[in-house]
Structure formats: C-alpha cells, structure tokens
Amino acid sequence: MKRFLVPLTVIFCVCNTACSVPQHRIYPEHTHIKNTNLSVTDILHNDFDIVKRMLYLLGKATYCLENGKPVSKGNFQDLIKIISEFSDKHHQEKEDKVLFPALKVKNDGEKKDFLGRLLMEHVSARDAIRNLTSALVNFDQGKKARRKIAKIAHSYIKQMEKHIEMEEKILFPWINKVLTADEQAMFIKKFEDMEKEDIANGVHEKYSAMIEMLEKQLEISMGNVQTL
Ligand SMILES: [Fe+2]
Ligand SMILES: [Fe+2]
C-alpha cells in the first residue's frame, strides 16, 4: 500500500497545483476582440496581465538559478521567446506604432516628453532581453556566468515594473481623460487589426500553453510541489 501512496500523493499535488486558479488572467480571457465595451486602457491593462505574469515567471526562474534549484537554459530561452515574440511585443507595438505617435501631438504635445521617455524605456527593455539572450550562451560555464544572467534578469524585471507603474499611474488615467469616444473606437479597431493575424494563426494559444507549462515546471522547481 505504501508503495502506491507516495506516487499518488505526488500526482495529487501536481494536479492540484496545475488546476488551481492562476494569479493572473489567462490569455484566452483577453476578449477585447469580441467585447466592444472595453476602452483603450482596458486593453493595455489586459496586456499587462500577461507581462506581469512573465515577470513573475522570470523572477522565479532567476531565483532557482541563484539557489541551485532545477532550472534549465531552455526554460530561460522559452521565457525570452514569449517575452520578445508575444507579451512585451504585443503591448509595446500597440504603443510604439499606434498610440504614442498620435498621443504625442494631443493637447499641443502636453505629454510629448513623457511619451518619449516611455518609448526609450521600451528600447532599454528590448536591449536587456538581447543582453539576456547573449548571456545565456554561457549558461553552463559556471557561477560567474549564472550570476551575470541573474543580474540582467533582475535589472530587466525592475525596469519593467517601474515602467508598468508609470503607465498605470500616469499614462492610463491621462489617456482616459483626453481621448474622445471616436478616438477610443479608432485605436481599438487598430489594436484589433494588429492582432487579428496572430489570433487567426493560434499564436495566443501557443504562447498561453508555453506559459502554463513554465508555470507548472517552475512551481515544482521552487519546491512548492513535492517531487520523488
Ligand atoms: Fe510601455
Ligand atoms: Fe504600456
């Protein structure tokens, strides 16, 4: 009996963790394409749910790296792939290509400098991800190489958290105040057009599945689930 008890306990723990309600919204619930009542900032907030989820995962992977817990080069590569091809990409493209160029001239350029600063932060974030990619080449080259990876990851997380806070506290309330209903509708339509192809090609499902897989793996690595 005891022989079966341990594996059964582990299976229960893994399923229990995998089936528990996620802390952040999952991407299939990002329904702005169908919901016409959402505002521009609702959509940007929805994007941030995924971005924050990825920052949390990168933090977990980095913790594992620094504390000798199981985490692979492939885990980091997957995280980078999701960040640069999905989570950050979608959000920043909406701002870089559609929203900010129009907002720069709004109210006689009232927020021009601030928007310029946010755009520069997008560039810095992409640079950090590129540096992380380069540092990962030496993943198996010992403690020094791992410390470098962890340092870049921590710095990226910190700069993104600050960026998100600035947008949520300053940018989004201002957008809600200055955009007319027609402008809201126009931007939402443009956002929809930008993601239409990815949605049709199942890109959202693909990356959502990758995120869920990483969440399960890193949960186990952190030691919240007992392994054999
Ligand atoms: Fe941004
Ligand atoms: Fe943003």
The beta strands (E) that lie in the chain are given as none
Supply the range of the domain harboring residue 134.
2-27+38-221
DSSP 152: H
Say if 154 falls within a structural domain.
Answer: yes
Residues 6+ apart with CB under 8 A from 189: none
State the amino acid at position 202 in one-letter form: G
206-221, pLDDT tens digit by residue?
Answer: 999 999 999 999 999 8
Note the pLDDT tens digit of each residue in 148-159.
999 999 999 999
Phi, psi of 36 (to 5 degrees): -80, -5
The verdict on residue 79 lying in a domain is yes
Kindly give the distance from the C-alpha atom of residue 225 to the centroid of ligand 2, in angstroms, as a whole number.
34
34 backbone dihedrals φ, ψ, rounded to 5°: -95, -25
Q: What is the CATH number of the domain that holds 76?
A: 1.20.120.520
Q: How many separate domains does the chain show?
A: 1
In degrees, rounded to 5, the angle at the alpha carbon of residue 11 between the alpha carbons of residues 224 and 55 is 35
Please give the model's pTM, rounded to 2 decimal places: 0.81
pLDDT at res. 146: 97
CA of 50 to the centre of ligand 1 (A): 13
| Cα-to-centroid distance, 88 and ligand 1 (Å) | 9
Residue 33 lies in a domain: no
Amino acid (one-letter) located at 37: N
Stretch 202-208: mean pLDDT: 92
The answer to whether residue 172 sits within a structural domain is yes
Question: How does pLDDT run across 24-46, given as a tens digit for each residue?
Answer: 333 444 444 455 578 999 999 99
Flag whether 205 is in a domain.
Answer: yes
Residues surrounding ion ligand 1 at CB below 5 Å: 95
Q: How far apart are CA 178 and CA 164, in angstroms?
A: 20
* 148 Cα: distance to centroid of ligand 1 (angstroms): 26
